[in-house]
Amino acid sequence: MGLIISIPLELTLHFNFKKMNQMITLKGIRHTLYSILCLVVLNSCETFLDRPPLDRIATENYWKTSQDLENYVIKYYASFPSHGTWSNGYGYPVTNADNLIIATPNSILTGQRGITTGRWTSDWTNIRSVNIFFDNYQNCQDEFETYAQYLGEAHFFRAWFYFSLVKKYGDVPWYSSEISMDSEGLNRPRDPRTLVVDSILADVDEAINLLHLRADVGNNRLNKETALAFKARIALFEGTWQKYHAGTPFGTVGAQPEKYFQACVDAVEELMNGNYSRGIYTTGDEEQDYYTLFGMDNMSDVNEVLFYRAYNLENAVKNDVQYATTSATNQMGVTWELVSSYLTKEGQPYDYLSTATTEKGNDFLLKVAADVDPRFHASVWIPGDLRWANPEHRFSKPSIDKVDLVLNPTGFQLKKCSNPYAAGNLGGGSSETGYILFRYGETLLNYAEAKYELDGTITYGVLNQLRSRVGMAEFQVFPQSSDPNWVDYGYPISDALYEIRRERRVELALEGHREDDYRRWAAHSLFQGKRPKGYPFEQSEFPEYHPPLDEHGLIDYYQKIIPNGYLFREDQDYLSPIPEEEFTLNPNLDQNPNW
C-alpha cells in the first residue's frame, strides 16, 4: 500500500527547506532516503487504516500558536482588489458607471444582464473559510496580545466579504460559523440586509478594538485607522441606500437611515480627533500634489493613504497601471459628464458647451485645463504633458483614431495614476504603482455627506481641506438653476447636497466609487436613456478620422451602439440575480426583484 498524505484545503503548512538542507549532510542523504523508504514499505500498510483521519489531526494541531493564526488570515490579503497586468492594468473598477466608458458598453448599464445559471458557491468561499478561523482560534495557547491583530484582521475580512455580498445581492443569510453539507442552517432563508449590515458593523467594531495603529503596523497591513474608515464607508452606504430606496422593493421595512448616518459620523470623528496617523497629502504644490498621490510606488510615508496594496518587482508582484495610463488606454475614455462637473478655480460653475463652440480638440483641452479645478488636469491628459521622462516623451493629442488597446473613445484620455518617472510605460508587468484601498480624503467626504444627511450641517472646514490642497476657492453652495451642467438625480435634493455630491465626484473621480454612489443614491436618472459623450472634435487634427458627433460637435461614440442610451432597469438592476440552481438546492430562498 502506498503512503497517502491529505492536507486540508484551509490550512497552509510552511516548511523551511533551507534549514532542512542544512541539517541533512550530503553524505547522509542517501542513507536517510533509504531508511525512509524501508519504514514506509514495512509499516504503512499495517498502520495506515488504524490512524485517525489526517485532516483532523492537522486541524487539531494547527491552531495552537499565534503564528498559526497569522498564517491563516494572511491569505485573505490577496482577495483585495488590485491593479492588473496588460489589458487590465488600471485596476480601479470604473467601467460600470458614468465617469468613463470603454469601447463595448457595460451590460449592467445597457440592461442586458440575464439570470445566471449554476450556483453562488464562489461568493461564499471566503466567508466559510474565515468562519473556520472563528470556530478554532480560541484553541490558541499563546497570550491573547500576541494574536489580537490577527483576530482583528479576521473580523475585518468577514465584514469585507459580507459587505460585497450585500452590495451584490441585498438580503443574504448571515453565518458566523462554518456551514457544512449536513449543517442545520444550510437551507436558511435570507436575512434582512439591515440585520446583515448590523452584523458587519459589529465585526468592524471588533476590528477597531483589536487592530494595531497604522504607526505600528504600517499601511500595507490592516490597521485601526483603516477599520474606522471602513465603518464610515459601510454606514454611509447603508444609510443612503435605505433612505433613497425606501418604498421600493430594494428598501428594508423598518430601516433607520439616521442610525447609519450617525455611525458614519461617529467613526470619522474618532478618526479626525484621535491620536491617529491621517491627513491630506500636500507638499504645497497645488498643481501637482493631487496628481502625484496616485502614481506613487511607495505610499508608506503618506498619511492620507490609510491602507494600500504594494508591489515589488523583485518578488514578481507587479502591475501594468503605468502602461495603461501612459502608453495604452485599454479602450477607456473619460466622459463629458465627469469633465463638466469641475468648477472653475474660483469655485464657480463653468459653461463647457459655450467653450466648445469656439474651442475644439486640443484647444478645448488646453483652455479647460487653464480655467478649471486642477483635479481635472490631474485626471485627463493635456497636450504638452510629460508622459514619461526617460526618454522624454510628451502627450500630443488623444488617440481617438486608434484601435485595440490604444483606442481612446472620447478624447478625454485617462491620466490619473500615471507617473512619468516610474517604470512600466511599455507594459510587460513592470510597474510597482500602489493601489489605494482607503484614503483619508474619501473618509472626509463620507463624513461631509453623512453629517448633512443627518442634521443638515454643511462641514465647510472638512471639505476645504480637499479644496486647499489643489488651490481651489473655498466650498460654497450655488442654486442648481445657475449650473449650466446641471445633472438630474431623478428626485429633488437641496442645493447643498447637490454640491456635496459634486465635490465627491470630482475628488474621487476614477477611483472606483462612482458605481456604489449611484446605486446607493438610487440615481439611475443620471444616465438612463442618455449616451455618454466625449470632447468637441476638431477635424483638422484627424484628417482621416470621422467619429460620430452629436448636435454640439461632441464625440458620440455610442451613437449607433446604444442609440436610445443606457437602458438600466431601475426595478431590477440595482441588485444581481441569485443563480438559478440555488433555488433547487434551497427552496427557502427567494429571488431578487423582477429577476
Q: Tens of pLDDT along 304-327?
A: 999 999 999 999 999 999 999 999
CA distance 142 to 178: 23
Cβ count within 10 A of residue 418: 30
**Whole-angstrom distance, CA of residue 120 vs CA of residue 114:** 15
Checking if the pLDDT of 35 tops 80, the result is: no
Q: What is the pLDDT of residues 105-162, one digit of tens each?
A: 988 899 888 888 889 999 999 999 999 999 999 999 999 999 999 999 999 999 999 9
- Taken in order 567, 526, 506, 261, the sign of the CA dihedral is negative
| pLDDT at 442 > cutoff 50 | yes
Q: Which residues contact 491 (CB under 8 A, 6 or more apart)?
A: 244, 522, 525
549 and 446 within one domain? yes
Q: Domain for residue 6, yes or no?
A: no
Same domain for 202 and 299, yes or no, is: yes
* pLDDT recorded at residue 60: 78
- 123: cell is 461568493
Closest C-alpha to 236, from 206, 210, 199, 266:
266
Residue with cell 418604498: 247
> Three cell numbers at 83?
491593479
Q: Are residues 241 and 196 in the same domain?
A: yes
pLDDT classification of 20: cutoffs 50, 70, 90: very low
2 is a domain residue: no
Residue 3 domain-assigned (yes or no): no
Q: 44 and 106 in one domain?
A: no
554: helix, strand or coil: strand
What distance in Å separates the CA atoms of residue 454 and residue 448, rounded to the nearest whole number? Answer: 10
- Beta-bridged to residue 435, according to DSSP, are 309
Residue 590 resides in a domain: yes
Q: Which residue, of 9, 42, 62, is where some domain finishes?
A: 62
Side chain identity, residue 58: A
- In a domain, residue 404? The reply is yes
Distance CA 402, CA 190 (A): 48
- Please tell me the predicted confidence (pLDDT) of residue 179: 82
DSSP 380: B
Same domain, 350 and 278: yes
Residue 591 has pLDDT above 80, yes or no: yes
Q: What is the pTM of this model?
A: 0.90
pLDDT digits (tens, 9 = 90+) for 217-237: 999 999 999 999 999 999 999
Same-domain status, 34 and 78: no
Q: pLDDT band at residue 53, thresholds of 50, 70 and 90?
A: very low
- Sign of the CA dihedral running 493, 497, 499, 501: negative
Task: Give me the sign of the Cα torsion angle 394, 400, 406, 409.
Answer: positive
Domain CATH number, residue 525: 1.25.40.390
Provide the pLDDT for residue 40. Answer: 36
Confidence of residue 31 (pLDDT cuts 50, 70, 90): very low
What is the rounded distance in angstroms from the CA atom of residue 524 to the CA atom of residue 569? 8
What is the 8-class DSSP label of residue 323?
I
- The whole-angstrom separation of Cα 503 and Cα 529 is 25
Q: For residues 56 and 197, state if they share a domain.
A: no
On whether both 32 and 163 belong to a single domain, the answer is no
Of 62, 84, 117, which one is at a domain's C-terminal end?
62
Q: Is the Cα torsion angle 253, 258, 261, 262 positive or negative in sign?
A: negative
Residue 228 to residues 76, 160, 270, Cα–Cα distance (Å): 19, 13, 8
CB of 242 closer than 8 Å to CB of 170: no
**Is 221 part of a structural domain of the chain?**
yes
Cα 107–Cα 110–Cα 113 angle in degrees, nearest 5:
45
Whether residue 219 contacts residue 77, with contact meaning beta carbons closer than 8 Å, is answered with: no
Given a cut of 90, whether residue 184 has pLDDT beyond it is no
Residue 46 belongs to what domain range? 17-62
Residues 426-438, mean pLDDT to the nearest whole number: 96
Same domain, 30 and 132: no
What percent of the chain shows pLDDT beyond 70?
A: 90
> Could you tell me where the DSSP H helices lie in 48-192?
54-62, 66-73, 121-136, 144-169
| pLDDT > 80? residue 246 | yes
Percent of the chain as helix, strand, coil, to the nearest 5: 45, 5, 50
Q: Look at residue 11 and tell me if it is in a domain.
A: no
Rg value, the chain, Cα = 27
The pLDDT score that the predictor gives to residue 58 is 61
Give domain status of residue 595, yes or no.
yes
d(CA 267, CA 224): 11
Instruction: Select the more confidently predicted residue: 53 or 505.
Output: 505
34, 119: one domain? no
Domain shared by 43 and 123, yes or no: no
Does pLDDT of 19 surpass 50? no
Across the chain, mean pLDDT equals: 91
Q: Is the pLDDT of residue 43 over 90?
A: no
- In this structure, the answer to whether residues 189 and 47 fall within a common structural domain is no
In the chain, the number of structural domains is 2
